[in-house]
Amino acid sequence: MTNSEAMSSSVKSALAQNRAKVRLVEAHDPSSIDLVRTTIGSDGESFHGVWVSGLTQTTYLGIPDTEMITPLERASLITYADAGRHENDESRKLCWAFDADSGGPRAEIPALVAKLSSMGISMAVIEDKEVSEPGAKVNSLAASSASQGQANMHEFSATIMAFKEAAASSADFMVTARIESFTTRKRKQDATEEMASVRAALEDALARAQAYCAAGADAIMIHSKSKKPDEILDFIRRFRVRNRHTPIVVVPTTYSTTPEDVLYNAGANVIIYANHLMRAKIKTANRVSDGILATNPGLLSAEPALGRCASLQNFGCLLAKISEMEHRNEAIIQYGKELERGAVEGMRNVLTSLLDSKTSGGADRHIIPVADLLRINGSQVTFKLGSMSWPETGVETLAATKDRRGDGPSYGQHSSGWLGAIQDAFANWLKVFFTGMNSAVPQEGKGA
């Protein structure tokens, strides 16, 4: 047993210990992690674990959430989520789940699972989006999410199998398949056509869930950006008719007034508050920064990287950059301390509000809108991460990225050797098995 395994909980054990009802919240640095561990609601409730969000981690790093770096590269840049390093015998144990985007290049999956396991992260969530090249991912909550097609169901099943094979030695590691049928469909103006589109997406999601479970998925995440929970609740109820045991993960960012109990009682098992602490940090730090810069407008003039972060309101990355600076003047040190103090207060208020209200929207007064976070994330403020670098225009050299990944024209849908043969054979079997089902599902509502 490794130090991380000894010192951290797993999502699987959290489900077993909490009557299959687990609550996770996004955290992105040591201070936010400590707040998650120590904050308790007025009724004694707390968060069971941490969600390592792709959106908020890339915001923290200062790059867009477009898979311009692979999940393995992103996991390797986590310096704050080593569960063994941040927990001791007296501290409350947290479980950890990682947003693994589309899974990344097939060749990197074993290293990704090993890296996550070494940090005490016990769940990887992979989404069935069609990401054909680096930087091509569209965030599920973006207005343009329908421009992103879904991965072929059978090829994605082979990706699930690759993750399961990589995690074969860890009984507690969970591979969660995230289904994007609702977020990638094209909305219709006509009410009748819109209803048909939603129904088609529901049938597609159910078919995918069945295929992904057959491929070995340990849990299913169903995603939606509707302001009402109907899409999610309809999926859960239909899925539970066929499958009563596979855990279901939901993310109520947009259907934010839906109480936790409504989701749990319908059959959901894991609720993730996916980006609230970064949204709180940015709101509070922005207010504090405005006050300081109003009296000292030239404070950041000698530090253009910090000035760019501040002008684009990316205070998650700004605070990270200040902490990494080797040479800082006293005024900037104090500026960073004031921002961090305000950010901690804002994040604590959010955690308390989430725990007391039992709804995602219960913390709205303390956070920026998710649309603002997407806008902030879309502006690149970092152009060098370790050995990786990008032009100052913020546009990555695609050829160099493909060379670095060594996966050629496809982002990760190819395998080799005996494992690849098994995966391909299983994918072909699934394709034949579900052909009849798929032909009966109208495709009108799907994104291109």
Q: Which residues are catalytic?
A: 65
> Is residue 407 within 8 Å of residue 399, measured between CB atoms?
no
Cα distances from 410 to residues 159, 236, 414, in angstroms, run 13, 33, 8
d(Cα 343, Cα 320) in Å, to the nearest integer? 12
d(Cα 57, Cα 70) in Å, to the nearest integer? 13
Vertex 281 angle, CA 280 and 282, to 5°: 95
Residue 182: alpha-carbon gap to chain centroid: 17
> Is residue 12 within 8 Å of residue 100, measured between CB atoms?
no
> Is residue 57 within 8 Å of residue 28, measured between CB atoms?
yes
Q: Which distant-in-sequence residues (6+ apart) come within 8 Å of 345 by Cβ?
A: 284
Q: Which two tokens stand for residue 289?
A: 């920064």
> Residue 136 belongs to what H/E stretch?
none
Q: Please report which residue ranges of 296-414 form alpha helices under DSSP H.
A: 304-311, 315-324, 330-357, 370-377, 398-405
**Please, what's the largest Cα pairwise distance for the chain?**
68
> Is residue 117 within 8 Å of residue 1, measured between CB atoms?
no
3-state secondary structure of 51: strand
d(Cα 355, Cα 47) in Å, to the nearest integer? 8
d(Cα 66, Cα 395) in Å, to the nearest integer? 12
